[in-house]
Structure 1
Amino acid sequence: MIDHLDHLVLTTIDVEACKDFYVRVMGMRLETFGSGRLAFRFGHQKINVHQRGHEFEPKAHLPVPGALDLCFIASQGLDAVIAHLQQEQWPIIEGPVARTGATGPILSVYVRDPDLNLIEISELMG
């Protein structure tokens, strides 16, 4: 019945810090849609942004910053990802470590975004 994820919604306390992380550090494209709503586009998916206290309706039952644990598959090798994170002075909190992704083994590093969501950046293995 379900084929793929179209978008997810991230709730942030600080829109500018959120934009900086997802555009500068993660390399996503900033998009504006509707009546000034923000999103970060990557591949065929996007992350819509809600500012805490100003969420778009309908919304999650308890939309709170820092509650997400997301894994992204990188478009380049993990060595290049690590070099980019170091260049942008964004701390890696764990990794590289072997994990199991949706399609098989992955090698991952973990960072936190400005709202303290856990962000896993991975390379497909094998």
Structure 2
Amino acid sequence: MPLVTAIDHIVLTVRDIEAAVAFYEQVLGVEAVTFAGGRRALQVGDQKINLQVLGQETRNHAAIGCGDVCLVTEAAPEEVVARLEAEGVAIVEGPVAKTGARGAITSVYFNDPDGNLIEVSSYG
């Protein structure tokens, strides 16, 4: 049996936490949450994306914009493209066939305002 069975949260390093929250709420419709004495996160299903500014966490080697995250959607790739275009978000790549944790996916890639690479993918 593996020691690790799931991902609880990841952390993205951003320049401005509230600007990042606004972007993810507006563009992807995720829910922002506050925890642990005012820290901010984005709730994504049963997982979350914690947000930090550079230097906030001294135990890691964080850098702004070095994140690369794949998020799963039930929307069709064309809907993802339409939403991004409507919000003025430039698409880096896609829709394109890729392989996710559970098999074949169709992905659309873009960068958040801090340069983190975000992939929004759907399983066929």
For residues 24 and 75 of structure 1, the distance between their equivalents in structure 2, rounded to whole angstroms, comes to: 18
Instruction: From 27, 30, 33, give the equivalent of 1:31.
Output: 33
RMSD over aligned Cα atoms: 1.3
Paired residue total: 122
Q: For 1:42-80, what per-residue CA distance to the aligned partner results, in whole angstroms no more than 9, with x for missing partners?
A: 100001111113x146x31x1111111111111322121
Contact 2:13 2:67 survives alignment (8 Å): no
Which contiguous aligned blocks of 4+ residues in structure 1 show a shift greater than 4 angstroms? Answer: none
CA distance in 1, matches of 2:75, 2:96: 17
CA distance in 2 between counterparts of 1:78 and 1:115 reads 23
Counterpart of 1:10, as a letter, is L
Unaligned segments of structure 1, at least 5 residues = none
| Deviation of the 1:23 alpha carbon | 1.1
Task: Check conservation: 2:92, 2:110, Cα contact below 8 A.
Answer: yes
Deviations 1:73-107 (CA, angstroms, capped at 9, x unpaired): 11322121111111111111111111111111111
After TM superposition, the structure 1 = structure 2 runs for residues 26-65 of structure 1, keeping only pairs within 5 Å, are 26-53=28-55, 55-56=56-57, 59-60=59-60, 62-65=61-64
TM-score (normalizing by structure 1): 0.89
Structure 1 stretch 104-113 or stretch 69-78: which is displaced more?
69-78
Tell me the SS of whatever aligns to 1:83.
helix
SS in 1 for 2:52: strand
| Residue 19 of structure 2: aligned partner | 17
Seq. identity, %:
43
